[in-house]
Amino acid sequence: MVVAVRLRPLSQKEHINKDFAVVQPQDKLIIVLDKVDIENERDEKKPDVLHRSREQRYFFDRIFNETVSTADVYSRTCS
């Protein structure tokens, strides 16, 4: 069994709302960042001492970003 994930780009609505990606792919690892940490970095606020990072890490056999075609995803996972 192969476990794969395909990341999608931000939608137009998300761009309008000034949302940002909280997912960072690294080889076979995806890190889902804590939104509070990112917002503090952007606003250059001092981090809350009581706040602990709640980032999550997930491992997959394959990770595809938004630039990979559907045919390529299929050929790498189903053949």
pLDDT at 79: 75
Structure tokens at 23: 């997912």
For residue 39, what are the CA distances in angstroms to 5, 34, 35, 51, 78? 26, 9, 6, 13, 39
Structure tokens at 9: 């780009």
Whether residue 6 is predicted with pLDDT greater than 70 in this model: the reply is yes
CA distance 70 to 18: 27
**What band does 71 get if pLDDT is binned at 50, 70 and 90?**
very high
pLDDT digits over 13-62, tens only?
A: 998 998 888 888 988 999 898 766 555 555 555 555 555 568 889 999 99
pLDDT at 74: 93
